[in-house]
Amino acid sequence: MSSLLTDSEILLKNTVGDFARKEIAPRASIIDRTGEYPFENVRQLAKMDLLGIPVAQQYSGAGAGVTGFAVSIRELAKACANTAFICGVHTMVALSLQLFGTNDQKARFLAPLSRGERIGAFAMTEPQAGSDAAAMRTSAAREGDSYVLNGNKCFITNAGAADIYLVFASTDPSKGSRGISAFIVERNNPGIRIGKIEDKIGLRASSNGEVFLEACKVPQGGLLGKEGDGFKIALTALDYGRIGAAALGVGLAEASLDASVAYAKQRAQFGQAIASFQAIQFAIADMATETEAAWLLCYEAARLANRNEKFTKHAAMAKVYASEIALKASERAVQIHGGYGLSRELSVERHMRDAKALAIIEGTSEIQRLVIAREVLR
């Protein structure tokens, strides 16, 4: 799957892949079992300059573009989906600041995010406003030269680990989605409180939880863009996030495929390796074909983003397809491994649980299909 890549992207792929296998993969099963946030993995990502991959070098990023971001997330996901997911969501926040932030905001927040000195969280989802962002109840009221935020967010990735939260709140409820604004809220702001961290079946170590805003005062300089720009900022960020989610799906599918090929070659039944059985061969052929197709969709979306062309449809296509084939590939991998596939001593059951979570995060498969249909039917 390297034929599309530039020389620099091939180098990045090999570098990140080697790093992930040596430094990240050994901890993957441990953090999955405990659900503990992988602070050490994040520190290692920072050392490797992987927390600002698509961010411009002038803001301490790697300047590798969105294609470089996709390449890196795919390699990280093959080793540990939790770490890839954490990196992807953090990067959504960084890209939002790069695209919509003032020079002061970029210097104060973006550069430290890119260096991995601070971790970002994207705080949009609420108990009554998941896919329906217009139903958002978190409010932001002007009070002098500040805004006072009240509300609660849920299922926020990096909730318990972040230093910077990109919070979406309504500054004018009468305007619906056009009245939503985006705010940069620091962890040490009075009035921000972290609630329950969810105990999920997949992506268990991503510190996915509640964020409460209780008379949380944010200075006017914390407003990202203008009042009412929040929905536009969120949709833009989600487009980039879906490329990351698609790359994560490709990495999970590839990990399932690699495990299945290795097992099928060494597992013998009826006097021969099970790789010689047509049923196994067909399953592996489908996994390989679908994984390759998912990567092509993902890379095309990233390529369009690099060229500043519209990529909403392609990002949604990549996300829905990659997440669904990741689940199919992991289910096939469990089946190929038989009883061993059910054991937590092997990675394939973890891939299956992580892939199921992936089909829901960053917009469910149903939402992706709505986005695609809307774009096609324009």
How much of the chain is in helix, strand and coil states, percent to nearest 5? 60, 15, 25
CB 210 within 8 A of CB 323: no
CB 274 within 8 A of CB 267: yes
As beta bridge partners, residue 60 has none
CB 217 within 8 A of CB 265: no
Residues belonging to the chain: 378
DSSP symbols for 313-373: HHHHHHHHHHHHHHHHHHHHHHHHHGGGGG-TTSSHHHHHHHHHHHTTTTS-HHHHHHHHH
Handedness of CA 219, 225, 229, 234 (dihedral sign): negative
Active-site residues, by number, are 362
62 vs 47: CA distance, rounded Å: 12
CB 148 within 8 A of CB 169: no
79 vs 162: CA distance, rounded Å: 23
For residue 132, what are the CA distances in angstroms to 93, 180, 231, 258, 362? 20, 13, 11, 38, 13
